[in-house]
Structure 1
Amino acid sequence: MRPLTAQDPESVGGHRLLARIGAGGMGVVYLARSEGGALAALKVIRAEHAADPGFRARFRREAQAAARVDGRWTAPVTAADPEAAEPWIATAFVPGPSLAETVAGHGPLPPDTVRALGARLAEALAAVHAAKLVHRDIKPGNVLLALDGPRLIDFGIARVGGATALTATDVVIGTPGYLSPEQARARDEEVGPPSDVFSLGCVLAYAATGRPPFGGGTVPAVLFRTVHGEPRLDGITDDGLRILVARCLAKDPAARPTVPELRAEFGDFGTDDWLPPTLPAVIAERSARVLHLPEPERPSAPGAPVDEPPAPSRRRLLVLGGTAAVVLAAGGSAAVRLTGRDDPPSTAASRPRRTVAVQADLSGSGKALGASVEHGVRLAVEQHNARADRPFDLALRMLDDAGDADRAKEAARRLVADGRVCAVIGPTSDATALAAADRYKKAFLPMVTAWAGSDSLYAAVDMKNPTSSVFQLRPSDTAIGAPLVRYLTSVRPARRTFLVEDQAARDYSWLIAQRLAANPPSNGTVVRHQVAADTGDFGPAVAAAVAARAQAVVYCGDSSRRAASCARALRAAGFTGTPAATEAVLTPEFLRAAGPAAEGWVFSATFVDPSRLAPAAAFVRSFKKRYGVRSVGRGAAEAYDALGLVAHVLAPMGAGPVDRGNLTHRLRAVSYRGITRTFAFRDRAAEVDEEPGLFLWRVEHGTPLFLGQYQEVKV
């Protein structure tokens, strides 16, 4: 929970607002108290969405349906106003912790408790389905635990941060690891009550073992295992329970038990003593804490930015979030080479000094990118310190991790231990970011990176965690297919698209192909063709594309070398349509290996050419002059913006010591306009808004040409 901001109303529909539970692109969820004194979770939809008559009609219909849900183990709708300028709906607030929090903090539940949980959640699903709703997002975070039993929340209404549950099509709605195979395939027409049964099976497996049945890792890997793999249920010690959960996880929806069958097989359980002995006191204490919240203190400082609400103290943030404080031990023995280039102290005695660090590969295989990142940050620091009106001086600390995971961990340890460092820009590779992220997160030290493989990082770090200090400025790989869909729909339409799925990068290739198959360019047809990992011959795939009269061919893998083989095969076959791929392929290696066959290839990407952006013109001039180069290296503009974002948030924090947790909170709340795009984070989490950060490139005359933000690219 978070304090109310200056722009929040004091009340909505007779409900006194007490705190923010969450916020996103669709609206805000508040903790509120009704005129009768009852607590409610009140969701307010933003006016811009309500202005769409279609959206308002769907919201009205879905709110009415949700109000019909009448189950003991659901959080009922208590009030709603679909006709308000900003429509809202209120449900009973359950003050207990979620199943996710409980299992994470206290371990798996015993079999009898899991059976009781299953019986009650089956009853809750029966009530949801009786109202002609399908939940679609059953997960441990949507199961709240009260002393008398669980409550299933967030059923079938316009969810904050996403599309409406009943009417959205061609998108994956739900949480990877807990969604059904039909959801993973984005086959909306197949998603019915059996889908909820599958998700319930995943939740019960998690409750019994402490892990989701299809494992963790990257989003495409989890989705692939959900569709094609077998669940891991070896941690369920009760044979009968394990068999029942396995039936829920059948790939074929028709093979799963129905909700009434589930309820009967779980048996009868009373409401007393359903929890293991250690949990009732924990739940009671948590409930009492929330129920005795004080009246909110509303920000009133004149001129305070509306997008940066004052942060609660770390103690209050942790208490309300149910998160335990962590003290880091200074461990590790890997060597880190310090560059010896820390900036000198400020000469202005009266001006505070803020230290920002850069952790990058400056001597390994990724040193070209590391150098660009360093140059971009250094230029930003120099320009900041040259301003006469600056509220503080910036100092810079550089650490080289050489692209090595062990050295990255040691670099993170050193920066965490340095009390002067208030934020870290980097790391600059997959391995180093994944190695360092957990240490930064535990220390509440903001880590701001735009260069690591985002899907792996999103999967490894809970970006929805309100205390996460890992900020990924690069959009997730799950969104990187969107620019190609638009290009092949609005710029160079292709009614017949052929997808080359490279099994050498099975998970990544499946993710890209899945996005295009679920959203066919030009509403046309999509053909998927797999190329085995043990062959470099793309001739058969190209022959199949020609036979299908493809107007576009998308290489869905991540290998520049193999993409070049595909390009040469297309050129040899005389293909005249649009060849395309994602940024993983857009490298000098691809251009060299493909040669003339690279001409005309289109790429979706998350980085820019600042020389083609009007807001970056001054930066480009200064960069060329400062470093004596003819062009700005890849990554420098994003690094310049990353430093600008941190400096922007530091500005209103006063002259005293910087609290890292407070800075994390403010970073999550801010919207910052940089030279490359606007940066903002969804749901007050560390997950960046994706749309502004997706771009298109095309190879012309052997050189990649930046086309711009993908929604703005014209014919």
Structure 2
Amino acid sequence: MRALRAEDPETLGGHRLLARLGAGGMGVVYLARTESGALLALKVIRAEYAADPAFRARFRREARLATGLTGRWVVPVTAADPEAREPWLATAFVPGPSLAEAVDGHGPLSGHGVAVLGARLARALAEVHAAGLVHRDVKPGNILLALDGPRLIDFGIAQGTHSTALTAPDAVVGTPGFLSPEQARADADEVGPPGDVFSLGCVLAYAATGTRPFGTGGPAAVLYRTVHEEPDLAGLDRLPPPMRTAVRECLAKEPGRRPTAAALRQVLEAVAAGPGHGASGDGDWLPPAVLRVVAERSARALDPPPRSAPSAAPEFSGGDDSAAARPSRRRVFALAGSTAAVLAASGAGAAVLLARRNAAAGGSEGGAPPTRTIGFQADLTGPGKASGRAQERGARLAVAALNSRADARFRLVLKVEDDGGRAAGARESARRLTADRTVVAVVGPTATAAARAAAPVYEKASLALLLVSVDADTAWPSNKPRVVCPTTLLGRERQLPVLDYLTRVSRTRRTAVVEDRAAGDTAWDLARDLRATPPNWDIGGTVTVHPAAVDGNGPRGAADAALAARAQAVVYAGTSPDRAAACARALTAAGFDGPRLGFEPAMRPAFLTAAGEAAEGWLFEAPYTEPEAARTGAAEAFTAVHRARYGADPGRWAAEAYDAVGLVARTLDALGAGSGIERGQVSERVFRVVHDGVAKTLRFRSERTLESENAGFLYQVAGGSFRFLGRHDQVRAEDG
């Protein structure tokens, strides 16, 4: 709650304004009081948004629908003026936090709390559905917590079960992570009460575990997981069996398999009223910390702050106020006076984190800081030695960056093993590294066969194995060892950069996929995933798949079929540079100049040679960056240091290896500087830290895989070579 500003009105619609409850780009929410003394939350929309007829219609509908709802667990609209220059509506004031605030700030609710929450929200939805409405945006931010139970708010996108939406045809409405698969697919005819039940299931899983059942990240990735993957329900075991079953049934992919809100209410009310619990709530369902928040907000509402005096100082909307006082990453680099200082100051390495924590902790406890050894296993003399050497250089630079800090809490040592890229050599290298009890984690191996052979040795020793250039999906199609930590995009998620480009940059509605049968399951999986979630599916995007037979004319025939389907973009789903080139030549011969995309295995010099001029303009996704071409301060600093030390630009995967060592250092720092760190602690903790690296941010899901959103990159053929465009989510049309 903040004081009113000088420019805020004193009254609105006969309500006296007392304070600001929140503000954003769309408007302001005030605490207000009626003439009778009742407190209200009064939402005012800025005039520029209200000028949009569709937006005003939606606002008008929200006021009308919510005014007619009278259920106890729904916050109704008590007054509104949708026709005002700045339209507003008022609802009863609920002093409690949202469910999102409570869980994110104070942790999951108890089992009883989840039962009360679910029973009362199910009752609210049953009443909404009985009125012929569907809420369509049930999420933690739209649920307020009061002493006696939750309150469901915001009917801005609610609609009748047979009414016409105010959005574009096939548009997705709702909040990714809490909407149903039918909403994610924009199947408007299927969106009904079962969609709200699915959303409630997501809310209950979140309230019980503190995590979102379909993960985090950008909307495209979350929606993809909602449609195609099973929810992450780890942590529900602490709930009574009837509740676990109910939540799982709510999250059924098919709407017809979900319970009704009324049936769900009966199950959850029985649990909430079980032995040792009353059915009334009265605060016993909320954690003490949340009860304190409710009490504090209730007290502050009775004593709002005085109105602020006019001020000439600008006010920043949103964000971290401390950001203005922090130097930018680029300025940190500009201030660095040496090679070591540049890397040590870079937010891309672990050193900056260590320096901040050391300043608070006062460094190590007497004497020299302890030494931690990181193993590095790679092919340094075999067929993959170029990649192995590049990764070794990146790893050594990361170690040097940390050790350049005089106040570091520990020193790093890199112990290098050359496995020659062979399985037998990999097992021997793994045995030597595990035998050294000072080794706390290993980066590598750099070849798939070597990773498969070494992993069981590291698994037995509980030694974290951070893969840089090996695709964990290829190495272990199932049953990936628990100690394996993939730091790059998994093979099954390689279509995400392509999907993002076609959706966000080219806005393609008709996409054709050339499924190269010569690539087997890899091509089939890519084609299936793109067809299941077409680019721009929210505005009617479609995908057609055209198989390319294994014979030599297969790619050309499939390309011709794609053009016959009036494709606006063509994706080659395969692994052969030569067959991708055949597809490119066929498209060019037919005069096709729309977006043409492929995947990294085909991004080889052989493609450029075989395709010739037809290669120009092709885009390829890749799981690695090119730091010398990336437009970030961290990448520029890394490149400068690499050139200074090795006299050359970083090789492929060097930046990713640098980040992998930085992730280990960050994990060690999180575990403390003491001497008692165990290997098992590192292999568990590494998945729970977040590291802002040179190439990308390393953040992991609960299933121990890298968060895939924004983890891929795009390259484009220009002038007969592959030109790095950048991280896929940062590429714009003008970049190509």
TM-score, reference length from structure 2? 0.54
Which of 356, 360, 385 in structure 1 is aligned with 2:327? 356
- Which residue is equivalent to 1:177? 177
Number of the residue aligned with 2:583: 570
Q: Kindly provide the CA deviation profile for residues 375-413 of structure 1, in whole angstroms up to 9, marking residues without a partner as x.
A: x9867x89xxxxxxxxxxxxx97335899xxx8334322
State the one-letter code of the partner of 1:288: S
Tell me, what secondary structure is at the counterpart of 1:137? Answer: coil
Shift of 1:711: 9.7
Residue 156 of structure 2 is matched in structure 1 by 156
- Counterpart-to-counterpart distance in 2, 1:22 and 1:582: 44
Shift of 1:43: 2.8
- 1:172-571 superposed matches below 5 A: 172-215=172-215, 222-233=222-233, 234-267=236-269, 270-273=279-282, 275-276=284-285, 278-279=287-288, 281-298=291-308, 300-302=310-312, 304-305=313-314, 356=327, 358=329, 398-400=342-344, 408-415=349-356, 484=502, 497-498=512-513, 514=533, 516-519=535-538, 525-527=542-544, 543-548=557-562, 549-550=564-565, 551-555=567-571, 567-571=580-584
Name the counterpart of 2:17: 16
Describe the SS at the equivalent of 2:64. helix
Do 1:99 and 1:145's aligned partners in 2 also have CA atoms closer than 8 Å? yes
1:74 equivalent in structure 2: 74
One-letter amino acid of the structure 2 residue matched with residue 570 of structure 1: C
1:362-384 deviation per Cα after TM superposition (whole angstroms, max 9, x unaligned): xxxxxxxxxxxx6x9867x89xx
Q: SS of the counterpart of 2:41?
A: strand
Q: How much does 1:266 deviate?
A: 2.8
3-state SS of the aligned residue for 2:230?
coil
1:144 equivalent in structure 2: 144
RMSD: 5.9
| Structure 2: distance between partners of 1:277 and 1:494 | 48
Q: Distance in 1 between matches of 2:576 and 2:722?
A: 15
Q: Give me the whole-angstrom Cα distance separating, in 2, the residues matched to 1:215 and 1:309.
A: 24
AA in 2 matched with 1:247: E
Shift of 1:191: 1.7
Select between 208-217 and 495-504 the one with higher mean Cα deviation.
495-504
**Aligned partners of 2:352, 2:541: CA distance in 1, in Å?**
50
Q: 2:31, 2:545 → 1: CA distance?
A: 49
Distance 1:397 1:8 in 2: 49
User: How far 1:69 moved relative to its partner?
Assistant: 2.0
> Do the aligned partners of 2:243 and 2:267 also contact (CA within 8 Å) in 1?
no
Question: Is 2:600 the partner of 1:601?
Answer: no
For 1:305, give the aligned amino acid.
P
How far apart, CA to CA, are the structure 2 residues paired with 1:62 and 1:103?
Answer: 27
**In structure 1, C-alpha distance between the alignment counterparts of 2:353 and 2:528, rounded to whole Å:** 32
Secondary structure of the equivalent of 1:41? strand
Q: Does structure 1 residue 112 correspond to structure 2 residue 112?
A: yes
2:427 equivalent in structure 1: none
- What letter corresponds to residue 412 of structure 1 in structure 2? L
- 1:64-96 deviations in Å (ceiling 9; x for gaps): 122222211011112211111122222222111
Three-state SS of the structure 1 residue aligned to 2:141 is helix
CA distance in 2, matches of 1:17, 1:507: 56
Does the CA-based 8 Å contact 2:129-2:193 persist in structure 1? yes
Map of 2:456 onto structure 1: none
* 1:269-327 Cα shifts (integer Å, max 9, x gaps): 5324563485374354243344245235435223x33656999899xxxxxxxxxxxxx
Cα pair distance change 1:8/1:227, threshold 3 Å: same
Q: Deviations over 1:318-369 (max 9, x none)?
A: xxxxxxxxxxxxxxxxxxxxxxxxxxxxxxxxxxx987364xxxxxxxxxxx
Secondary structure of the corresponding residue to residue 18 of structure 1:
strand
**Residues 29-77 of structure 1 deviation map (CA, whole Å, 9 limit, x = unaligned):** 4132133343333333332332233432333233212222221101111
Deviation digits for residues 643-681 of structure 1 (CA, Å, limit 9, x no counterpart): xxxxxxxxxxxxxxxxxxxxxxxxxxxxxxxxxxxxxxx
| Cα pair distance change 1:264/1:554, threshold 3 Å | same
* Contact 2:41–2:91 (CA under 8 A) maintained in structure 1: yes
- Cα displacement string for residues 156-202 of structure 1 (whole angstroms, at most 9, x for unaligned residues): 3599xxxx986355444333332211122233332211011011112
- What letter matches 1:259 in structure 2? A
Are the equivalent residues in 2 in contact too, given 1:221–1:507 (CA < 8 A)? no
Q: Where does residue 388 of structure 1 map in the other structure?
A: none
Between the aligned partners of 1:165 and 1:17, the Cα distance in structure 2 is 36
Task: Using the TM superposition, give the Cα deviation of residue 28 of structure 1 relative to its aligned residue in structure 2, in angstroms.
Answer: 1.7
Q: Any idea what the Cα deviations from partners look like across 1:569-623, whole Å, max 9, x if unmatched?
A: 4224345422334999999989857863431336999x9xxxxxxxxxxxxxxxx
Deviation at 1:224, TM superposition (A): 3.9
Identity of aligned residues (%): 45
Q: Secondary structure at the match of 1:267?
A: helix
SS in 1 for 2:292: helix
The 2-side partners of 1:3 and 1:556 are apart by: 58
Retained in 1: the 8 A contact 2:251–2:258?
yes
- Which amino acid in structure 2 is aligned with residue 101 of structure 1? E
AA in 1 matched with 2:97: P
SS of 1:42's equivalent in the other structure is strand
Rounded to whole Å, the distance in 1 between the matches of 2:311 and 2:52 is 35
Counterparts of 1:409 and 1:539, CA distance in 2: 52
Instruction: Spell out, residue by residue over 1:512-531, the C-alpha distance to the aligned partner (whole angstroms, 9 max, x if none).
Output: 983614146xx674325799
Q: Say if 2:39 is the partner of 1:30.
A: no
Shift of 1:20: 4.6
Contact 1:31–1:39 (8 Å) recurs in 2: no
Q: How does 1:586-665 map to 2 (within 5 A)?
A: 596=612, 597-601=614-618
> Cα offset for 1:500?
7.0
Question: Which of 577, 580, 587 in structure 1 is aligned with 2:596?
Answer: 580
Give the drift of 1:120.
0.7
Distance 2:606 2:328 in 1: 33
Task: Give the SS at the match of 1:261.
Answer: helix
| 1:398 alignment partner, SS class | helix
Counterpart-to-counterpart distance in 2, 1:543 and 1:128 = 54
The 1:308–1:99 alpha-carbon spacing in structure 2 relative to 1, beyond 3 Å, is closer
For the 8 Å contact 1:96–1:146, the answer to whether it is kept is: yes
- Counterpart residue type for residue 243 of structure 1: T
Taking structure 1 as reference, are residues 144 and 543 closer, same or farther at Cα in structure 2, changes over 3 Å only?
Answer: farther
